[in-house]
Chain A
Amino acid sequence: MNDYLGIDQRLCTGCKTCALACSFNYFGVFNPEKAYIKVIRHEEAGTFDIVIKNGCIPCKICEESCPTKALIFIQREEE
C-alpha cells in the first residue's frame, strides 16, 4: 500500500498547522523547514501550493491537524 495525499485547494486556508504538527510530531520541535509537508504561500495572489517532501511515511498527523479538512490521505490499492 502506498497512500497519497489529496489536497482540496478550495478548503486550504494556508494556515500551516499541518507543517507545524509534522515537525512537532517527528522532531519534537516547531520548525516548518523540517516538516515533510510544506505550504508555500503566494501571498499577493492569495493562493498556496502544498508539497510533500521525500521522507514522508506518511503518519497522517497533517491530515488530523488540518482545521478545514483540506488534507485527505487516499489509500492506493497495491496492483
Chain B
Amino acid sequence: MHGYCGKILTIDLSNSKISECEMISKDGTDFLGGFGMNTKILLDEMEPSIDALSEKNVLTFGVGPLVGTFAPTANRTEISAKSPLTGLMGTSNSGYSWGPELKYAGYDNIVIKGKAEKPVYIFINNENVRIIDAMNLWGKNSWETIREIKAQLGQKEASVACIGVGGENLVRFASIENGFYGAWGRTGLGAVMGSKNLKAVVVKGNRDLTVAEPEKFQEAVSEMRSSITNHPTFKPWSTFGSMVAVDVNYDLGAVTGYDQSELVGEDFIKNLGRKNLLKYKKRSLACTACPLACSPWVEIDEGPYKGLKIKGIEITSTMDFGARLGFRNLPAIAKATEYFQKFGIDCSTAAASIGFATKLFEENIIDKSDTEGLELKWGDESLVFELMRKIAYREGFGDLLAEGPVRIAKKIGRGSEEYLTQTRGLETNIRDPRVRWDVWTFGALINPRGGDHLRVQASVENYKTPCPEGEYIYEPGLPKKVVDKVDILDEWKEKIFDFEKNTTSIPYMAASAQDHLNVVNSLGICIRPPVAWSLGPKIFSKLMSALIGIEYSPEDIRKAGERISNASRLFNARAGEKREDLKFAPKYYNSSVNDRKLDKNKIDEVVSKYCEAREWDPNTALPSHEKLKSLGLEKYANPKG
C-alpha cells in the first residue's frame, strides 16, 4: 500500500495482547485516515453508551495518509475515544513529530482497549511493540515523564504522548501531552488514558513510506505549497502565530470576558494583542514539514516570571486566561501555559471551571464556605495557578473544579446552571455567539465533540459586515471574485452563495465547512487558516491519487468528508445526544451582552436548515436509511428510539 502503512495495531491492556491487522483498502478510500478512521474504529469497536472512564472505552490514535511525507503540515495525529467530559465523541488533534514517527514505525492507527492492572507505558519501535512497567513514572508531571522515558529507553529522538498527574487523577478535562509543548487538549482524553493505567505511548520508526506516483506527487505538493504560502493569511500567521487572531476577533467585537459576561475592553487588546507577543518571541518553531512555523519560542526576561522559556503563547490560552479569567499580561499567560502543560490539563476547560466558580462567587451563589476559604476574583494570577494545581491533584476545592463546569453546576445547584457557558458539554470560547453570529458560532451546535469552535470554520467569511440583528440563516455575502478563489465544489457553491441577494447560507456553509475540516483532520494536515482555507477537494484529489495510486475525484474527497460527518453524528446519537440537545447553554438565550442575546426558535430553524443541507430528518437530526446507504454507512443503523 502506498501512502498508508496498511496496518492497524491493537493493544488490549487487560490481557497484554498485542495484535496487528491489515487496513482494508476501502476503509482508506472511504474514511481517508486520522479523524475519519478513528470515527469508523470507534463505531466498530465500542458501544457509545458506555461509561467513558470504564475499561470498555476504546482509545484510538489515527494518522492520515499524507503524514510522514513532505506535504506541507502533514504531521497531525487525531486521538479519539468517548469523552469523559461531554459524554459525546471525544477527539483532539495535535502536530509536531508523533504522527510521522508512527508512520515510519509502520502503522496508520493504534487502538487501545481494556485496562492495565498497574501503570504501564507502550513503546512502539517499528514492529517491536512492548508494554513497559510505569510504576516509577506515576505521579510525575509530563515534562519529568518525557525526560525519564527517553533516558530509560536511550531514545532521545523518540516521540512521546503522555499524561501528567491530571490524567492519572481522572480530571475530566485532562489532556494527553504531545512532547514537551503540545497537547491533544480537548475533551478529556488524558483521563481516558489515566483510567487505563496508561502513562505514555512512545514511538520511533525508520521504515520507508512509499508513494505510488512520485513525480505527480511532487507536482501536487508544489501546488499545495504554493497555495499555502501565497494565501493572504500566511505572512501574518508566520509572524504572530495564532496570536494574529486575537486582534481579528477583538476587531469583530466577538470577544467577551469574565466568564463571558461582558465585552472585553481596550485594556484587553492593548496588553494581550498580537504586537505584545513580539516583545517575548525569540524565534519561530515548526512542526514536521510545516513552512508556516507558527509556534513562537518565548523567553520572559522581566517581571515575576523572569527566566521562563517556553514554546507557545497561543490565542486559545490568551482567550482562556486573558478574556475569561482577566489576566492582562502575556508573561502570566506563558506561566499558565507551563502549568497546564506540566499538569496535563486542557487550558480551556481548566480556565472555564475556574471562571465559572469565580462568576458564581461574584454573584454570591457560592462563598468561602464552598471554596476552602479562598476568595475568588478576576485576574488573580497566583490564585489561578494554585487552583490549577488543586485541580490536577484533585485536592480540596480542586476536586470539584476537576469535574468541569457542567458537573460543578449539578453539584452546587442554587440556579448556577444559568451561568454555564458550556454548549453540549464544552465551552464555547473565542467568539461569543450573542455578539457574533456566523458559521463559526453556529458550528458549536454541530461540532462532533461539543460546543467548541475548531471543527466548523468557513474557508472564507465576511469580516466587514456583521449579520444583522435577528437574522440567523444568512450572513452578508461575498464578492464572486473572492468566492471563485475558494476550493469548494461548484454544486456546493451554488447552495451556499447567492450573489444576487448577496448572502451566504450559514447552515449550508456550515455543512460544507465541517466536511472540509473532516477531510483536513483525516488526511493529517493542519487546520490553521493559511492551510485549511487555501485548500480543498480539487488539490486533495490530486495529492491522494498520486500518493495512493487510486484515482480520487474531488467529489470522492468531499463525499468522504460528508461520510465522516454522518458517522460522527451516529456515534453521538448512539451516545444519547438527541435533536433537542443541539442547543446553546441557557445563558446565551437568557442573558444579554451588549444588548444582544440569542433567539431560541430562530436558532432551531437554523438547525433544521442544517439538517436539510445534510438530507437528514429535521426532527431527529439523523440520516435516513437511503442516506446511510448512499454513503456506505448502512451497517451503522440509526440508534433505536
Within 8 A of A (CB), among B294-313: 297, 309, 311
Contact present for B289 and A17 (CB under 8 Å): yes
B229 closest partner in A (C-beta):
A67
Which residue of A24, A30, A43, A67 contacts B291 across the interface (Cβ within 8 Å)? A67
Within 8 A of B (CB), among A39-55: 40-41, 43-46
Interface residue SS majority, chain B: loop
A14: chain B residues at CB < 8 Å are: 285-286
Chain A: interface residue total (CB-CB under 8 A): 26
B180 at the interface (CB under 8 A from A): yes
Contact present for B284 and A31 (CB under 8 Å): no
A59: chain B residues at CB < 8 Å are: none
A21 closest partner in B (C-beta):
B70
A45: chain B residues at CB < 8 Å are: 309
Interface centre among B181, B207, B218, B286 (most CB of A within 10 A): B286
A24→B309 CA distance, assembly (Å): 35
A32→B97 CA distance, assembly (Å): 12
Contact present for A10 and B283 (CB under 8 Å): yes
Within 8 A of A (CB), among B21-64: none
A29: chain B residues at CB < 8 Å are: 208-211
B214: chain A residues at CB < 8 Å are: 24, 28
A77→B372 CA distance, assembly (Å): 74
Which residue of B104, B208, B285, B290 contacts A46 across the interface (Cβ within 8 Å)? B285
Q: Contacts A15-B287, A15-B288 given: A30-B209 contact, CB under 8 Å?
A: yes
Contact present for B70 and A13 (CB under 8 Å): no
A68: chain B residues at CB < 8 Å are: 284, 291, 293
A68→B293 CA distance, assembly (Å): 9
A14→B207 CA distance, assembly (Å): 21
Contact present for B311 and A15 (CB under 8 Å): no
Q: Contacts A24-B70, A24-B214 given: A31-B291 contact, CB under 8 Å?
A: no
B291 closest partner in A (C-beta):
A67
B67 closest partner in A (C-beta):
A30
Q: Shortest Cβ distance from B153 into chain A, in angstroms?
A: 15
A20 at the interface (CB under 8 A from B): yes
Within 8 A of A (CB), among B260-284: 283-284
Contact present for A30 and B286 (CB under 8 Å): no
A27 at the interface (CB under 8 A from B): yes
Contact present for A16 and B210 (CB under 8 Å): no
Contact present for A13 and B293 (CB under 8 Å): yes
Q: Shortest Cβ distance from B93 into chain A, in angstroms?
A: 18
Q: Shortest Cβ distance from B299 into chain A, in angstroms?
A: 9
A44: chain B residues at CB < 8 Å are: 143, 146-147, 180
Instruction: Write the A1-38 contact mask toward B (1 if CB under 8 angstroms, else 0).
Output: 00000000010011111001100100111111110000
A65: chain B residues at CB < 8 Å are: 70
Contact present for B207 and A31 (CB under 8 Å): yes
A33: chain B residues at CB < 8 Å are: 104, 206
B146: chain A residues at CB < 8 Å are: 44
Q: Contacts A30-B70, A31-B104 given: A46-B283 contact, CB under 8 Å?
A: yes
A67: chain B residues at CB < 8 Å are: 229, 291, 293
Contact present for A46 and B210 (CB under 8 Å): no
B311: chain A residues at CB < 8 Å are: 46
Contact present for B285 and A40 (CB under 8 Å): no
B294 closest partner in A (C-beta):
A13
A27→B208 CA distance, assembly (Å): 9
B104: chain A residues at CB < 8 Å are: 31-33
A28: chain B residues at CB < 8 Å are: 210-211, 214
B210: chain A residues at CB < 8 Å are: 28-29
B68: chain A residues at CB < 8 Å are: 30
Q: List 12 A-B contacts (CB under 8 A).
A: A13-B283, A15-B286, A15-B290, A20-B69, A20-B288, A20-B289, A30-B69, A31-B208, A34-B208, A40-B157, A67-B229, A67-B291
Q: Contact residues of B with A, CB < 8 Å?
A: 68-70, 97, 104, 143, 146-147, 157, 179-181, 206-211, 214, 218, 229, 283-291, 293, 297, 309, 311
List the 3 closest pairs (A to B, CB-CB), nearest first: A67-B291, A15-B286, A13-B286
Q: Supply 13 further A-B pairs (C-beta < 8 A) apart from A24-B69, A68-B291.
A: A13-B284, A15-B287, A15-B290, A16-B288, A20-B289, A21-B70, A24-B214, A24-B218, A31-B209, A33-B206, A40-B157, A44-B180, A46-B311
